[in-house]
Structure 1
Amino acid sequence: MAKSEATRTREETWSKAADLPRDEEEEAKSEATRTREETWSKAADLPRDEEEEAKSEATRTREETWSKAADLPRDEEEEAKSEATRTREETWSKAADLPRDEEEEAKSEATRTREETWSKAADLPRDEEEEAKSEATRTREETWSKAADLPRDEEDRLALDLVWNTNFKERHHFYLPARTHKHHIRFIVDTGSPDSVISLAHVERKQIQPSDTKEIYYISHAIKILGKASVTLFVGKDQQEIVYDFLVADIHREHTTDLVAMNFLTDFECIIHIDSELRLTMSRTPREPQAGDYNSPYLDLAVSAGKGEATRYKFLVDTGGSNALPMGYAETAGARIVRRGLGRYCLTYRVKGNFRIDFGSFSRQMKDPLARESTHGTLCQKFLMRTVVNLKDWSMTFKGRNGDVTLPLIN
């Protein structure tokens, strides 16, 4: 009864205040505030149910205060929010004297109140700016935190886009775009060649140092080597700087064959992703050069023709070559030899027919490959699509519809 009477008194006072001059209106509101405080004071002496009802009434009063604050000038709005903040603090203070369950409930209510306060603050320009800055700070801190958990080698790796060659006759090639201080260069990425080469057109003669290598073979011709040079390259969208020693080829044309071959790919621990997104990841700095030759990667695979029995051969993983079978196997399988020509290291023949290469749980077809007078075959062109050639862990992954297959590379 005391609560209901106090409520009616307050409502009547607020209603009448709306028709009073400004000073009288403030005085009337102050009277309503005192009435509410007296109600809370009296509620402490009421039975439990009436006490809860009185507190619920006070809670609704606070919510109405927040609602009305949105229509007040800036100073009055801040004052109203300060009042709500004090109310929350009082709630937490009182909660300390409550039983455990009631204390948790009170704290949950205070938490919801704080979240609602932040939500309403989002409508203010200044608060939006501060909130955005806080979010950006948290994002940065999370990024730095995650970076601290990465292995050192993953943190220090570059991710670079590669480019397919649009020349129909050399469509199996893809390039690593780079530049020096004076020239833009497209390096063929070639896992079938041991030595990386740069054209004389892209370096200055004063950079060239003596080299033990005097000649290399590429495709079907020999290339004279003038020496070696330490070349600074800028790669990737951010033009990251890398330095490496290249053999200098005695060719002056601007658009000749520049290669990043197995020594570069091994020293930088490169991983080549051959898919719809053609890219290469590599270390920022090369490891110490290894002693001896840099061998190309091979796979031990089974090859068959039609319903014939499968035979195992080594296959060179060659990102700069053409699909090929060992000539001995092509003849044994009864393949039709249609043309003879020159290859990179030996005679090659054009073969008509379809062959199946098995990778364990699935296989791929090789159509009309070359055949070479060699003891191994070659995998390249479209056969390498949807694969990852990992020269860091020395493995190769084939992506199939029913899952991926990862095989060890051998040399």
Structure 2
Amino acid sequence: MVIWTRVTPATAVLDVEGSWEISEYEDFHEVAARGAFSTSPSNDYTVKIDVQGLQPARYYYYRFHALDATSPTGRTKTAPAGDTDSLKFAVVSCSNWEFGYFNAYDCIADREVDVVLHLGDFIYEYGTGQYGDSTIGRTVLPPFEIISLRDYRTRYSQYRLDEGLRNLSARHPMISIWDDHEIANNSYSEGAQNHQDDEGPYSDRREAAKKAYYEWLPIREGGKHYRSFNYGSLAEVIMLDERLEGRTRPPESTSDTSYASPDRHMLGEEQLSWFETRLIDSTAQWKVIGNQVIFSEVDQSRVYPKSPRNLDSWDGYPAERKRIVAYIRDKRIDDIIFVTGDTHASWAFEVAPDPMHSYDAMTGVRLPLPLSLAPPVCRRRTGMNMKPQIR
């Protein structure tokens, strides 16, 4: 279990020493574990502790002490082990500071869930007025598009001022994955739509964004960003990195000669092989896939006549998607749910090998995947071509 905080010195100092403690009791009359920490400007005074030896399926309270002050108390919950009959998780994504307060986070904080899955776009990189609404005076810092490490750190720091985000972070554990806006719009391994040559090397920006992300979120470092978590016998949560690990540049259109090429990757060979192994080796009943962009086919021609497919989603990588669906079908892997961010609308899909042919929407015949979901619950546009797999 990773617990997180940030120390804010009143004046610039080189290093800050402090301590932490964690307990099953909110008054800390018995302490399960404690220790010391040191933080400095090198990690923006953030603190992360990977606490070992906690009991499964338990609530724990934690707090930090530094600079003669004590942090607010946080609460977390460990994953269950063995037989498990229920799991409640919240799915969130796409929090844009200028579009308004993060009230949905507050709603989740008030509910009892086992874990929050954040599927990306924890922040947005745009400057004031570039993608948002300043009507309520909620403008971003810095006021320009963020590019440097200092820029990204400032933006994360501002986001942590939102009361809803603070309440959510103090109430529930979070498993997170980045999407594109933690770096730049429509990012991939070696570039991004919203990165220009006059902004410096993309690799510098990407690494700055990654460093700030790891500093400001309670996530383990040192391994691959894609990873999995077991919730007893009931579920395995598999988080995919669909941006920086192996994604190749998206096609410009479906008429590109390389559009359907097997050399076009969303995950990359190494991650794809790992994903297939996790699916076939999992002993959990349900496999919950943390997925940043819509996995299912979507015909959006009625809304965007010039862009019938969102090529930044899995519709831009049909060969790799086809391989995944075929693998699930051929290996007869059951009970898979893809949960999705990115889309700013609510969807439910049934995923078939070929949803336009040989597929019965009433019976689900030839249906290898149960569901693909995308939050939040809202409707922004109507008029999509309602294909049989779209619910």
Shorter-chain TM-score: what band? under 0.3
For the pair shown, the structure with the greater C-alpha radius of gyration is 1
TM-score by length of 1: 0.24
TM-score by length of 2: 0.25
Normalized per residue, the structure richer in strand is 1
